[in-house]
Amino acid sequence: MELLDGRYQIKKVLGRGGFGTTFLAEDTRSSSGKLCVVKQLQPSFSELYLLTKAKALFKREAETLGILGKHPNIPSLFAYFEENSEFYIVQEYIAGHTLEEELKPNQPLSEQQVIDIVRELLEILSFVHKYNVIHRDIKPTNIIRRKQNNQLVLIDFGSVKKVTKAKQKKGTIVGSYSYISEEQFNGKPNFCSDLYAVGIIGIQAITGIELKQMIGAGFPLTEEGEISWQKHAKVSDKFAYFLSKMVRHNYRYRYQSAKEALQALQEVVETNQIIATNPAKRNYKLSNLPTKMLILSTILVGVMSTLLIAYNIANRQQTLRELSLAGKLTESSLNKEDICQDFSDDFYCEKYLFSGKKGQKIIIEMFSKDFDPYLVLLKSDTNELAVGDNMSLFNWNAQIIVDLPQDGNYIVVARNAEIGASGTYTIRAIKKILE
């Protein structure tokens, strides 16, 4: 096979997504035959504005790795080049396994294991945020446990956002729904949005339950919109408070930086050590806090709770409701013979119809373990794209998060981005309304 850039020999495919293909390759100019990862931009769509967006994100990923790759727990950038009108990123290969493999359903980790995971991720984010970069897609599949030293490595910087002094406009919504915060959901992420994702991973690890299954598993939302998860975990009060603060519905009540969160986590560790050596001092940490700090903390918590309750009464808390579609909402079997039909020079598996009102926030998700799904939202009267800029693509699942632009009917086209692949998929939609 021809060498890329005259030096990189492709060994095998590591994965395919809506934006491209990732390969394992060998650097033939390295005396040791060093392995590396080559990402090729190969969008599975032909719309011009989506192609432009994909190229911009791809270039931004390369630029970000060039700056952040100096950190030992972030892949180094080796090269970024164009060849035969194709774009490539070459980066460090991290041998190991993803954190997803450690977070097994119904197998919660110990508190100390979760503390170690959260601390490593916060230390990485402390470095990332120092460069005014928000990752925006922190999830278990984007975290690798390096085989060489057992440390966590944060990967996939394809969704990063650079924070500038200019007023932030509502941007494209990216991220994985299970780990996305309210403000990121609304297109206005900040550093606390990354902390939220880390907190969700911590809750998932200590309960053994994925966030998307939490509501069904009995994780109700409080009147303030907070996740009630503690009764499903064996966890100390102090660490439970820490994780709950990481995932507060209103980002203003979370830790405001990775550094602040690390300091709070260290207090948890110190308290646990005191209790472990002398169980009789279980309340040691609280009893030894300076009196003024304890009183001030109590007052602040009371004031914030009162303000939040008052806000919710005045504005009505937004909640998630299932959206009924004209089509199957359960797993659907796809046969290879009828998996796709011709549609606008692309391929699709199924169409779904629903009625919506202008301004309604809609989440549409498609999951598959057999192929890479891709969603399109159309206006039923014109077959035009509803809001393309709010479309997000991810490996093994696809999402559209959008405020509907007008009253009327809409068509969801559930597409298969991999021609010839077959298998099963699940599709669902949720609308966010004011009660």
Residues annotated as catalytic (active site), given as ranges: 137
3-class secondary-structure state, position 156:
coil
Distance between CA atoms of residues 12 and 143, nearest Å: 21
Please give the single-letter amino acid code of residue 154: L
Closest CA to 397 of 431, 370, 432: 370
Question: How far from each other are the two terminal CA atoms of the chain, in whole angstroms?
Answer: 60
Closest CA to 263 of 113, 151, 114, 119: 119
Count Cβ neighbours within 10 Å for each residue of 319-332 and write b for 16 or more, e otherwise.
eeeebebeeeeeee
**Cβ-proximal residues to 165 (8 Å cutoff; 6+ apart), any chain:** none
Main-chain phi, psi angles of 183, to 5 degrees? -70, -35
The radius of gyration computed from the CA coordinates of the chain, to the nearest angstrom, equals 23
Contact 399, 326 (CB under 8 A): no
Distance between CA atoms of residues 286 and 270, nearest Å: 12
Alpha helices in 131-219 (DSSP H): 182-185, 191-207, 211-214
Distance between CA atoms of residues 177 and 139, nearest Å: 10
* Per-residue tokens: 369: 């373990």
